[in-house]
Amino acid sequence: MDTNQFKWPVSSEREMELLRHVIESERWGGYHEFVGRLEREFAAFAHCTHGVSAMNGTVTMEMALWAAGVGPGDEVIVPAISFVATAMVVSRVGALPVFVDIDPRSFNMDPERAAAAITPRTKAIIAVHFGGAMAEMDRLLPLAGEHGLALIEDAAHAHGAEWQGRRAGSLGLAGSFSFQNSKVMTAGEGGMLTTNDAAFAERAWSIMDQGRKPGGGWFFHYVPGSNYRITGLQAAVLLAQFERLPEQICRRTRNAALLRAELSDVEGLAFQALPKPQNANSWYLLLGRIDGQRMGRTRDEFHSELTASGVPCTPFYPHPLYGNPLYRQGGCRVEPCPVAEECVKDAFWLPHRALLGDEETTREVAAAMRRACGG
């Protein structure tokens, strides 16, 4: 197997060319023209009118909560399965994360569990599009609307994913994207908040840029923001990465379909269910679950054999988010999460780089997966 095809990040002379522009300018920081260009182009790509970039996808989500007015005394509903940032930003603004269970097939927040967790203190829901498969927006949007809640999309995995033609990041009040090293476009670190709400975008921008107002004076500060700006150097790399994104999404989509079809007969292997209204996926992760009883192998045996064959694979998170030391002492509310408890024992993912190979390599990945399943 040609594992060089799984190399990530990928770059070319284009990154160097755009970086040179910045290096040769006198503005290496957040006010280089590339930063504004990236915000405009990425926002348009996400079907949004506004983009506010920041250092990473954790602070963009924190900015979203501040800009939505979430603070001490408020509760925010989050899925029990995600990267810790989804919950930690809630704690950072002084609110209480409320962990709810996920759907056993999609790995995304179960909307019924979210509805059951709403109290008079609930201010927002953070819906994660896990691995690129979008959360049940047809149920979460009306739920948020009925209860007057801000629906924030944690789209860190979902660049280019579409729900009935509407891109991730444009359905809720805001979408938060990550450009961290493993993400489908990267500058090592970076983040972007997208929204169609001009007033919200202005508040988020102020928080990101020292409490200034867009177009206002340099030494005039209106809110206690911070300096979360990305640099022109990051924007240069991201503009180059962005040019490659559509082709890479096509390649991953083709390879994910091939892998799922090749392995559809494997007893005890279930891939992530994709919601019907979703018409495009970023394929950040190829997720699945192992039914050890039916397969006669544990998830950990599957994982060890697959990685030994050169295919990158992660045996899921070691615990639901509330199992982290940070939340074991409290500072959160935990709703019953039997599905999340099961998934940490039997689920796995392949990173998107495993989907970037050519057809021959992808068939070899399928064969290695079949062998790891005992076939």
Task: Identify the residue among 57, 172, 232, 288 touching ligand PLP (CB under 6 A).
Answer: 57
Q: Among residues 337 and 369, whose Cβ is nearest to ligand PLP?
A: 337
Asked if 85 and 76 touch (Cβ cutoff 8 Å), the reply is no
Q: Is 110 in the site for ligand PLP (CB under 6 A)?
A: no
CA angle 366–371–374, rounded 5-degree value: 135
Least Å distance between CB 290 and ligand PLP?
22
Beta carbons of 198 and 49 less than 8 angstroms apart: yes
Q: Among 128, 187, 193, 280, which residue sits at the site for ligand PLP (rule: CB under 6 A)?
A: 128
Report the residue from 156, 207, 334, 366 that binds ligand PLP according to the rule CB under 6 A: 156
> Which runs of consecutive H residues, i.e. helices, occur in 148-231?
198-208
Binding segment (CB under 6 A) for ligand PLP, from list 25-33, 50-58, 211-219, 314-322? 50-58
Distances (CA, A) of 124 to 117, 194, 322, 340: 11, 17, 18, 21
- Residues 189-228: x/- map of binding to ligand PLP (CB under 6 A)? --x-------------------------------------
Q: Show the CA angle centred on residue 282, arms to residues 58 and 62, nearest 5°.
A: 15
Total number of residues binding ligand PLP (CB under 6 A)?
Answer: 14
Cα separation, 40 vs 43, in Å, equals 5
Q: Is 154 in the site for ligand PLP (CB under 6 A)?
A: yes
Q: CA-CA distance, 23 to 80, in Å (whole number)?
A: 43
CA angle 319, 155, 342 (to 5 degrees): 25
Which of the ranges 112-120, 152-160, 286-294, 299-307 carries the binding residues for ligand PLP, by CB under 6 A? 152-160
Residue 234 binding ligand PLP, by CB under 6 A: no
Q: Contact between 180 and ligand PLP (CB under 6 A)?
A: yes
Residues near ligand PLP (CB under 6 A): 56-58, 82-83, 85-86, 128, 154, 156-157, 178, 180, 191
